[in-house]
Amino acid sequence: MAPERSQRLQKLSGYPLAGIPEARKRLEAAGVEVIDLGTGDADLDPPPEAVRRLVEAASERGMSRYPFQVGLPDLREAISTWMARRFGVKLDPNTEILPLMGSKEGIAKTPLAFLDPGDAAVIPDPGYQAYQGGVVLAGGEPHLVALRPENDFLIPLDGIPGNVRSRLRLLYLNYPNNPTAATAPPEYLAEAVSFCRAHDALLISDHAYSEITFDGYRSPSILEVPGADECALEFHSFSKTYNMTGWRLGWVAGNAGLIESLAKVKTFMDAGAFKVVQAAGAAALAAHEQWVPGNVARFQARRDAAIDGLKRAGFTPAKPKATMYLWVPVPGGGSSMGFAERALEEEGVIVLPGAALGAGGEGFFRIALTVDPERMSLAAERLGRLAAG
């Protein structure tokens, strides 16, 4: 008889992309040219400076030793320099920055440092699965708040019930947002900081898409808000900005005491990111100003091609100012899961149904800008046949 699974494990929902790789293989084996717009994993290369440094560092003595949580000093210094240049935020590289094995890892482990059973965490719905997963596995109680167009896809903080506020320990914000591509104005971020300070809660800002912005938009850091240094941690990732999804590298920045708490959790659960990858991350940050604008321009060309194609096909997509996603209403208001299944089986296009990221995502589907403009246009044309039918 197999061991019984924990109640916490049983509370976890299925992962939103489960089953898609198998379906893709089946269709491709049948001769279908599949266009994958489901996973946020672009078909673009990392900065060549990062690749060169990766190769060099791999042969350097000591790089294969345990990194532990201290990690590579060069990366900490590079992050501190970049945060100061980009956001005007001065951080001690030794105490106010912590390298991560991707921002997902740090986000998922943070609740273990701050939640006790019965404590509440406010989570956007739809949202990244690591938010709810981390809270559930830590024994906390997730309070999901639907992200709706009438609220500009922001969490209405004044609508959080009193019985949640009294137990609130964590508030998750993700702007620019995955999956809605919404952005948060500075006054909303200031409101969120004030809200968390008033309720002695930790604000977790997932800023993974801070650099994929268009049309002159600049995404602010939560750490720019006065008072945020008392209550906020901000998570960054190399995955999207630098096309380094598989390298598993990111960082968290904020108050030294908060950072120390997460580092303690990590000490018991991992030995830190591979030093060679950390060295490559430092090189990527150093190349930021020369390399990132060109990469963002490629995403913008894909965004524009997708928006134009979808509009011609009868969809009503909003034109986002940031992220590598489009959040598109399902035509006719039908089931997002049903639409995604038809898109895959009838047209060979993989999109992510909104409901797979939470009940609040029903009525929408997500497109990831992961293929070139020509294939984005072709995908839109194929999806249009579903809308017309």
For residue 284, give the CATH number of its domain: 3.40.640.10
Torsion of CA 364, 367, 368, 373, to 10 degrees: -150
Last residue of a domain, one of 239, 269, 288: 288
Residue 16: per-residue pLDDT? 66
pLDDT at 246 over 90: yes
pLDDT at 15 over 70: no
Q: Are residues 267 and 192 in the same domain?
A: yes
Task: State which residues form the domain around 363.
Answer: 7-45+290-388
Strand partners for 326: 367
Q: Are residues 275 and 340 in the same domain?
A: no
Domain-located, residue 369:
yes
Q: Are residues 311 and 235 in the same domain?
A: no
Domain-located, residue 113:
yes
**DSSP class per residue in 48-60:** HHHHHHHHHHHTS
pLDDT at 243 over 80: yes
For residue 367, give the CATH number of its domain: 3.90.1150.10
Q: Are residues 21 and 111 in the same domain?
A: no
Domain-located, residue 2:
no
227-266 b/e with 16+ CB inside 10 Å = b? ebbebbbbbbbbbbbbbbbebbbbbbbbbeebbebbbebb
Q: Are residues 111 and 256 in the same domain?
A: yes
Residue 235: per-residue pLDDT? 98
* Single-letter residue type at 21: P
**Tens of pLDDT along 187-221?**
999 999 999 999 999 999 999 999 999 999 999 99
**Tens of pLDDT along 110-138?**
999 999 999 999 999 999 999 999 999 99
Closest by CA to 89, choosing from 220, 200, 184, is 220
Q: Are residues 294 and 344 in the same domain?
A: yes
pLDDT at 85 over 80: yes
Residue 25: per-residue pLDDT? 86
Burial class (CB in 10 A: 0-12, 13-18, 19+), 93: middle
Segment 352-379 mean pLDDT: 96
Segment 370-377 mean pLDDT: 96
Q: Are residues 27 and 168 in the same domain?
A: no
pTM of the model: 0.96
Burial class (CB in 10 A: 0-12, 13-18, 19+), 146: middle
Domain-located, residue 1:
no
Q: How would residue 18 be classed by pLDDT, with cut points 50, 70 and 90? A: low
What is the separation of C-alpha 244 from the centre of its chain, rounded to a whole number of angstroms? 13
Segment 151-161 mean pLDDT: 97
Residue 273: per-residue pLDDT? 97
Is-contact 131 144, C-beta < 8 A? Answer: no
For 123, phi then psi, to 5°, come to: -130, 135
Torsion of CA 261, 264, 266, 271, to 10 degrees: 140
pLDDT at 344 over 80: yes
Domain-located, residue 15:
yes
Domain-located, residue 272:
yes
Q: Are residues 158 and 265 in the same domain?
A: yes
Domain-located, residue 235:
yes
125, containing H or E segment: strand 120-125
Q: How would residue 389 be classed by pLDDT, with cut points 50, 70 and 90? A: low
Residue with more model confidence, 28 or 277: 277
Q: What is the mean pLDDT of the chain?
A: 95
**Tens of pLDDT along 37-49?**
998 999 999 999 9
Q: Are residues 271 and 313 in the same domain?
A: no
Residue 388: per-residue pLDDT? 73
Q: Are residues 327 and 369 in the same domain?
A: yes
Last residue of a domain, one of 260, 288, 316: 288
Last residue of a domain, one of 288, 305, 324: 288
CA 321 – CA 136 distance, rounded (Å): 32
pLDDT at 251 over 90: yes
Beta strands in 174-319 (DSSP E): 202-206, 232-237, 250-254
Segment 71-86 mean pLDDT: 98
CA 300 – CA 319 distance, rounded (Å): 10
Strand partners for 145: 124
Domain-located, residue 53:
no
Segment 248-260 mean pLDDT: 98
Share of the chain above pLDDT 70, in %: 98
Residue 354: per-residue pLDDT? 96
CA 66 – CA 76 distance, rounded (Å): 16
Q: Are residues 308 and 341 in the same domain?
A: yes
**Number of domains within the chain:** 2
Q: Are residues 306 and 213 in the same domain?
A: no
